[in-house]
Copies of this chain bind each other. A is one copy, B any other.
């Protein structure tokens, strides 16, 4: 089957309905385009778990704040379609804003608590935009499975909660973060970085790796683990938006005097120049983003 591009919800729904007929399992990979190897990994995971993969490409305005990069977010539909074709994707849905928000932003889906920490605190309304658009994409595609990257760890947890709460018949799959060979997490926003900034950004996976090693060496004090991350990022000249150690399911931040009991999400958001990057590891679960050379 060759790739088909759909621009309207009606046509995409009809194609997805047809694809699902005779019991075939459809997996959805929602993206904002500017597809990179991280998205390719999501598509492969989707293919491994289903019969048909659908990719959506939509830069969703409601998840951007008024001073964020909606207008400048990289858009490259031809390149994205080539990636999808290369990965054997057969259905691509790339709607207009009007198609996804026919009456404006009248209806919102909101996940409380989980969405209020971390990026939710820095980017008010961001996750409302995410959960609203994902609900719509699920409604149009009717997937059995949807695959999201763990680089956006909080997004993954918020969508898992939303899906469970709204009793949506979709199994949410999280895929581990894909990194460049030097450890930088893949992100469409890496395209904003100058070569100097690109080098500077490495402080993030380095700091996370250091924390993983300190955790492996039995450091359990939240203040000590976080303090070293903060210091490393500051030393590299990054402007920290937040660093946080949190419960990996409920995303409640640990207090500075708390100790990590079993697992903890170590999440970072920092500006490299004007570019905001995020990254994370789950201490007690994920390997270090950068392996020590021996």
Contact = CB atoms under 8 A, between A and B. Distances in A.
Interface residues of A, number: 31
Contacts of A165: 101-103, 106-107, 136
A292 to B, nearest CB: 40
19 contacts: A9-B167, A13-B169, A100-B167, A106-B111, A106-B113, A107-B109, A107-B110, A107-B112, A107-B165, A108-B110, A109-B109, A109-B110, A135-B135, A135-B166, A136-B166, A136-B167, A139-B167, A139-B169, A140-B167
B161 A103 contact: yes
Interface string A130-142: 0110011001101
Minimum-distance CB pairs A-B, first 6: A107-B165, A136-B167, A139-B167, A107-B111, A139-B168, A107-B162
Interface string A141-167: 010000000000000000001101111
Contacts of A5: none
A103 B157 CA distance: 13
A254 interface: no
Contacts of A113: 106
Contacts of A112: 105-108
A142 B167 CA distance: 11
Contacts of A202: none
Interface in A52-111: 100-103, 105-111
Contacts of A100: 167
